[in-house]
Structure 1
């Protein structure tokens, strides 16, 4: 039941704007909790990379006195990977298009992360 609610929250996030292409909720140890990813994406690898990048981002923000980490942003030629904590135990990873309006996406991600955090 809870898994269905998590899945629905991810699908709602993906549907909130055409700029979001995929999303996944991953435990901080890298295990996939729920996902709305295109076929052919390796969930295990995405989980491991997301957890590692979020952990590195948190350490970097702390070491460089930037305060608590809000998100990790990776920009590639074909778009963005945005990672944000969803409570203390999970990472929300979102794939967005290269022409995405980031301010709006950050807001959608923040709302979704709060919803997902409550469901966990």
Structure 2
């Protein structure tokens, strides 16, 4: 039941913008909780990379006295990856195309993360 609710949040997030290609809710330990990934995307590989980026981001924020990590944003020539906390024990990873308006990505991903957090409690 809980996984179905989270999957609905992820599919709604992906469907809310043509530029959001995939999303996943991942534990801070690097395990997939639920995902709405495109065909050919490897859940295990994505979750491992997200866990590594999260760990590096947290260490960087701490070492540079920037407070608690809020998000990790990766921008490449083909698009963006946004990783934001969804409660204390999970993160939402959103993969979007280059044309997306970043403000909308942040808003939509934040809403989805809050909805997932409420379910995970």
| TM-score normalised to structure 2 length | 0.95
Structure 1 CA distance for aligned equivalents of residues 27 and 68 of structure 2: 19
Structure 2 CA distance for aligned equivalents of residues 59 and 110 of structure 1: 22
Structure 2 CA distance for aligned equivalents of residues 100 and 31 of structure 1: 27
Query: Which ranges of structure 2 fall in alignment gaps of 5 or more residues?
Result: none
Query: Which ranges of structure 1 fall in alignment gaps of 5 or more residues?
Result: none
Alpha carbon RMSD of aligned pairs, Å? 0.9
| TM-score normalised to structure 1 length | 0.96
Superposed displacement of residue 13, structure 1: 0.7
Superposed CA deviations along residues 15-49 of structure 1, whole A, max 9, x for unmatched, are: 12112111000111111110000111110010011
Runs of 4+ in 1 over 6 A off after TM superposition: none
- Count of aligned residue pairs for this structure pair: 120
